[in-house]
Amino acid sequence: MIINTGSRTDTVQYYTEWLLKRFEDGFVYSRNPMFPHIVNRYELNPEVVDCIIFCSKNYEPILPYIQLITNKFNTYFHYTITAYGKDIEPNVPAIDESIETLIKLSEIVGRQRIAWRYDPILLTDKYTKNLHYKTFNYMAEKLAPHIDRCIFSFVEMYKKLTTNMPEIILLADKDKIEIAKNLGAIAKRHKMTIQTCATREDYKNFGIVNSGCLTAEILGNANNIKFKKLKHSGNRKGCNCMESRNIGDYDTCPNGCKYCYANQNPEIALKNYQKHNPNSPLILGGLLETDEIQQSNQKSFLQHFEQKRLS
């Protein structure tokens, strides 16, 4: 089983104490977002957890402790650093600060375990295509020696985005092609692998690898392990990744990013954040009398569990 710590919230930046406590206790509870009375229990045991996935915009809080996890588990890290400022990402560190933190993380866990995410790509009057090219080139030059690959995607125009970001400019197909072509050329110049995430478009002509950012091949190469040959349906439409189980909650990330799909709005996320108890097995609140706890049926996807893990 793959455990994902950060696809619903920035667990690393805001819930590090809770996350470390969960690994110390060896289990975690996760409330089902579709059926809130159902709480899944996952054992945080390397015998049944093949890899721990981290996704964050700021790893600084967990850097002093990350080896408590990497010394026991296979791991892979997605680090999102975009071109946007406080007007779109209010509580995210500045670009240079984020770059510095990523380099520190790379020195600890190894470049083969880190993917830099430059997404979602969106356009406004301020964040033009040319600004993206300039910023992406600046970051690529500094990050290429410290990462496994770069992953990008174009913003999805879901309903609440038009309310949260009325200034957004719709991306036409020709815009996407132009952006992909330029990002591909920049990545090539810096000898950096670049790929898409959950997209049906094919940009291989621009040196861009097709979607699949958490595949068996990527996680296997990063950790010197091999997975069984299984079919995976992915985690959403257009996704070619291995299936994973999430331990965070929606509407709990205080980053306040305008484009965020995991928060209804920043105010709700901040109110929920105040309900957090670092000693609870749940990231938000505690267990209720009406809750039904279900033990997850966790199975390893590895060919040979006894394979030596990277230190």
C-beta separation of 244 from 75 below 8 A: no
Structure tokens at 216: 């068996």
Kindly tell me the burial class for residue 164, based on how many C-beta atoms sit within 10 Å of its own C-beta (0-12, 13-18, 19 or more).
middle
Check the CA dihedral 108-226-207-155 and report its sign.
negative
CA angle 6, 10, 300 (to 5 degrees): 15
Of the pLDDT bands very low, low, confident and very high (cuts 50, 70, 90), residue 311 is very low
Q: Are strands 38-43 and 27-31 parallel, antiparallel or unpaired?
A: antiparallel
Per DSSP, the three-state class of 131 is helix
CA angle 211, 57, 100 (to 5 degrees): 105
CA distance 18 to 276: 9
**Do the strands 2-4 and 245-246 form a parallel or antiparallel pair, or are they unpaired?**
parallel
For residues 113 and 130, what is the distance between their CA atoms, to the nearest angstrom?
Answer: 30
CA 23 to chain centre: 19
SS3 152: strand
At residue 37 the predicted structure's pLDDT band, cuts being 50, 70 and 90, is very high
Look at the block and give the residue holding tokens 């981290």.
54
User: Could you tell me the pTM of the whole model?
Assistant: 0.94
Could you tell me where the DSSP H helices lie in the chain? Answer: 11-14, 16-25, 67-70, 95-109, 129-143, 159-164, 173-189, 216-223, 266-273
- Is residue 276 exposed (0-12), middle (13-18) or buried (19+ Cβ within 10 Å)? middle
Q: Reduce the DSSP state of residue 113 to 3 states and report it.
A: helix
Looking at residue 116, its pLDDT comes to 98
Q: Where are the domains of the chain?
A: 2-295
Model pLDDT, residue 233: 61
Quickly state the pLDDT bin for 307 (edges 50, 70, 90). very low
pLDDT bracket for residue 236 (50, 70, 90): low
Task: Give residue 133's pLDDT.
Answer: 98
Residue 291, token pair as written in the block:
């809750």
List of residues 6+ apart from 267 with CB closer than 8 A: none
Task: Give per-residue pLDDT as tens, 180-210.
Answer: 999 999 999 999 999 998 778 899 999 999 8
pLDDT band at 306; cut points 50, 70, 90: very low
